[in-house]
Structure 1
Amino acid sequence: MDLNQEDWTKQLTEDNNSVILDVRTEEEVDLGFIPKAINIDIYQGQNFINAIENLDKSKNYYVYCRSGARSAKACSVMNQIGIKNAYNLLGGFNEWQGEVSSI
């Protein structure tokens, strides 16, 4: 499900069963990331699928990438393997107005 930043952030804040998932490359993550996000690079192909399959399917996943395209695809893949609640951040990290962490 696609959510704008306001809805994504509001829902995330109120969700006690949430995981933030960053599907960007390591190089992109090095430039900054949303606090508490776990990184699983969607460009890793089968390794991405394997990592997603190992996630707790009972959690709610708030997914983002650089612009929202890869994260939309990731949400679709997640739905196909049984993760019902995957929320795509429209506009991605490029339009993120919230807190940013760095390594």
Structure 2
Amino acid sequence: MRNINGDELRQIRSTENAVVLDVRTPAEVHEGMIEGAINIDLMNQYFQDRVEELDRDKHYLMVCRSGGRSAQAGMYMESIGFEYVYNLEGGMMGWDGDVVRP
């Protein structure tokens, strides 16, 4: 897993094979998320089941509040065979782009 900054996230995201995966809680996501992101709460009991359903050929841009949980989730994804996993350094606290409310 590679740590990336906001500019790199935007660049990778511009490809059709990239997915922003927000692993924050629903309450955190309610405050705003990157447009088009999918939310799978790392703390939810079904997190692993939901991740297993994801397409392993896609590039996953992991996001949380500060970068810790997304790194943890990304390491888990790599351990089960996901090859293209990136972690947004600083998480949403460091994101300088637009956000939307779900």
Bin for the TM-score computed over the shorter chain: over 0.9
Structure 1 position 42 matched with structure 2 position 54: no
The 4+ residue runs of structure 1 with deviation greater than 3 A are none
Superposed counterparts of 1:12-91, under 5 Å: 12-13=13-14, 15-45=15-45, 47-91=46-90
TM-score by length of structure 2 reads 0.94
Unaligned runs of 5+ in 1: none
The structure in which a higher percent of residues are helix is 1
Amino acid at match of 1:8: L
TM-score by length of structure 1 reads 0.93
Unaligned runs of 5+ in 2: none
CA deviations on 1:52-71 (whole Å, 9 max, x unpaired) are 01101111111100000000
How many residues were matched structurally? Answer: 101
Q: Between the two proteins, what is the percent identity of the paired residues?
A: 42
The alignment's C-alpha RMSD in Å is: 1.0
**Aligned equivalent of 2:10:** 9
CA contact (8 A) 2:20 2:62 kept: yes
CA deviations on 1:33-56 (whole Å, 9 max, x unpaired) are 0000010000114x1011101101
